Amino acid sequence: MTIAGRVLMTSVHHKSEDDLATVACAALERKRRPRVLLGGLGMGYTLRAALDLLPANAVVTVVDIHPKVVDWNHGVLGPLARAPIKDPRVRVVVDNVTRVIANCQPGGYDAIVFDLYEGPHDAINRERHPLYGNDAIKRTSSALGPDGVFAVWSEESDPPFEARLKTNGFTVEKHRSGTGGRIHVVYLARLSPSGPGRRERAPIVRAGTRRP
């Protein structure tokens, strides 16, 4: 599928989408019941790769702004990725993912994964961008639980985006991925429980002891 001559989705090359899910899910291996928010359904390849790695009790919320994309995945696109939206672990929401994150309870997800058109791109996605700007990253941080993971697919590296992630308490890994064409970037950002904007846990006081 193309828009103005640019490839939006393809069933031929999707390794970087698969790798996006792989690095995100690998970071969740210690979670007993992972809660994942996936922004962007596309042709379902990222979702399928995640489901193949997540445990049977995982909960995956998929958010796409285009109802037609959801319809296509229920129909003609479904067999390409083995109909991932029919998996009982999946809930599909037609909405803007920024609104879903803004309305999320604090710590509502263990991982937030963005598989969205272009990804962070400094030429257009600057400080106030609704997905990749500073305030957006703060909202994402709030929606993640301790040791939360923010994984992002991108057409290319974006150093200002990396800097904003680090400013907001994330450590950042950058993976290059792709075959049969342009090499893309997968960001894996991990949130420290004591990062900026996170509440410190109160010390445990046992019976018969005094606070220092």
Identify the structural domains of the chain with CATH numbers, from first to last: 12-40+52-58+97-191 (3.40.50.150)
> Hey, is 137 helix, strand or coil?
helix
Place of tokens 């210690």: 30
Residues 153, 16: contact at Cβ < 8 Å? yes
DSSP string, 45-73: HHHHHHHTTS-TT-EEEEEES-HHHHHHH
Contact call for residues 141 and 170 (beta carbons, < 8 A): yes
Q: How far is CA 34 from CA 44, 82, 143, 153, 174, in A?
A: 19, 22, 14, 20, 23
Which pLDDT tens digits describe the chain residue by residue (212 residues)? 444 554 455 554 578 999 999 999 999 999 999 999 999 999 999 999 999 999 999 999 999 999 999 999 999 999 999 999 999 999 999 999 999 999 999 999 999 999 998 899 876 657 889 999 999 999 999 999 999 999 999 999 999 999 999 999 999 999 998 665 678 899 999 997 665 545 443 333 333 434 33
3-state secondary structure of 108: coil
